[in-house]
């Protein structure tokens, strides 16, 4: 796999929105003064009448999106994940999820790879917040292909969807979106020494680890969980039965995110030990993205060490 072919999923989001806008005239896009960073400015340029900058007012933006949806529009509301899911949580809960409205919350700048801006802008609890909401679908794309697919797929779901995009360029791991299906995880390899359940940009790190370990005769499989909710229980149970060791990894807090979702499936179906890799109940900090991934132990190196333990 060519890990040097990279693209940021926020860029994929911006491009996919333009394509979607051409196909579906009901799509409207809202942003909160971050259109250049979230890449919704591409949609704004192409469809100025269907783009609404709501200023630095995330609560208003999210609730306005709810109003749009009651009139048959398909609103995509975007800002950084920390503001989208944190500041506007009550609006998402009460005005979107409870009435099950067709609003897409597409957040960029998730996790520590936001980098230099530091803890206030590095959202590590968004999966936790969004997956706890009834009616909400949660997608965490791993690369460009999954990100584009997620945008199109979200438009097909008649209800709230949360999609988590990143700031930093990340390896493109898929050639096509042919195998992608909502709620179905993707298994890479048949190894039985360990399963690494990964989501978002951690999928590429897990795949790097898989290649390295193969050279030493250790065969693992990587399970790319792009849909965190609904989670692919069947795949998790299958891997728990077929492999000796289970690890989850996410660029998110180990509380309430992918690791917790996998653990919930395991304890109810086939109790097994799971090692949760991720941010260990702490806030992020300033630094560049790759330094931070090393600092927090979220690279292929730490995955390899964990598999060998």
Least separation in angstroms between CB 32 and another protein: 10
Spatial distance between the Cα atoms of 304 and 309, rounded to a whole number of angstroms = 9
241 to each of 10, 111, 194, 209, how far by Cα in Å? 36, 31, 11, 22
Per-residue HEC secondary structure of 86-114 comes to HHCHHHHHHHHHCCCCCCEEEEECECHHH
Strands 186-188 and 51-53: unpaired
Residue numbers at the binding site for another protein (CB under 8 A): 28, 49-50, 52, 54-55, 57, 59-73, 75, 90-91, 93-95, 98-100
Nearer residue to another protein within complex by CB, 72 or 178? 72
Structure tokens at 306: 């964990």
Contact in structure between 77 and 30 (CB atoms under 8 Å): yes
Q: How many CB atoms lie within 10 A of CB 218?
A: 16
Least separation in angstroms between CB 46 and another protein: 16
195 half-sphere exposure, CB direction, 13 A CA radius:
25
Nearer residue to another protein within complex by CB, 93 or 301? 93
- 23 is annotated as an active-site residue: no
Contact in structure between 136 and 97 (CB atoms under 8 Å): yes
Nearer residue to another protein within complex by CB, 68 or 197? 68
Nearer residue to another protein within complex by CB, 100 or 187? 100
Contact in structure between 252 and 127 (CB atoms under 8 Å): yes
Catalytic residue among 15, 23, 58, 146: 58
Least separation in angstroms between CB 251 and another protein: 30
Structure tokens at 116: 């230099």
Nearer residue to another protein within complex by CB, 129 or 304? 129
Least separation in angstroms between CB 134 and another protein: 12
Spatial distance between the Cα atoms of 32 and 55, rounded to a whole number of angstroms = 5
Least separation in angstroms between CB 68 and another protein: 4
Active site amino acids: 58
């Amino acid at each position: 796999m060519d890990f040097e072919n990279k693209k940021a999923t926020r860029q994929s989001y911006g491009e996919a929105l333009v394509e979607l806008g051409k196909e579906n005239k009901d799509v409207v896009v809202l942003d909160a003064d971050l259109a250049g960073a979230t890449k919704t400015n591409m949609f704004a340029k192409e469809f100025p009448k269907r783009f609404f900058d709501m200023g630095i007012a995330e609560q208003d933006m999210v609730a306005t999106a709810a109003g749009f949806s009651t009139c048959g529009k398909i609103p995509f509301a975007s800002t950084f994940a920390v503001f989208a899911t944190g500041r506007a949580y009550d609006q998402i809960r009460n005005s979107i999820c409870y009435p099950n409205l067709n609003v897409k919350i597409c957040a960029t700048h998730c996790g520590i790879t936001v980098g230099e801006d530091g803890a206030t802008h590095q959202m590590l609890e968004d999966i936790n917040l969004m997956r706890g909401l009834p009616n909400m679908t949660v997608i965490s794309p791993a690369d460009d292909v999954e990100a584009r697919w997620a945008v199109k797929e979200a438009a097909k779901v008649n209800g709230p969807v949360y999609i988590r995009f990143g700031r930093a360029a990340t390896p493109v791991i898929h050639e096509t979106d042919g195998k992608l299906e909502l709620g179905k995880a993707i298994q890479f390899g048949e190894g039985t020494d360990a399963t690494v359940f990964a989501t978002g940009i951690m999928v590429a790190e897990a795949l790097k680890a898989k290649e390295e370990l193969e050279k030493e005769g250790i065969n693992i499989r990587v399970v790319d969980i792009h849909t965190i909710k609904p989670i692919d229980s069947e795949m998790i149970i299958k891997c728990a039965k077929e492999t000796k060791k289970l690890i989850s990894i996410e660029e998110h807090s180990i509380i309430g995110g992918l690791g917790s979702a996998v653990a919930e499936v395991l304890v109810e179906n086939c109790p097994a030990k799971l090692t949760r890799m991720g941010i260990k109940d702490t806030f992020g900090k300033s630094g560049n993205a790759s330094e931070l991934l090393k600092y927090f132990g979220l690279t292929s190196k730490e995955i390899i060490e964990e598999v060998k333990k």
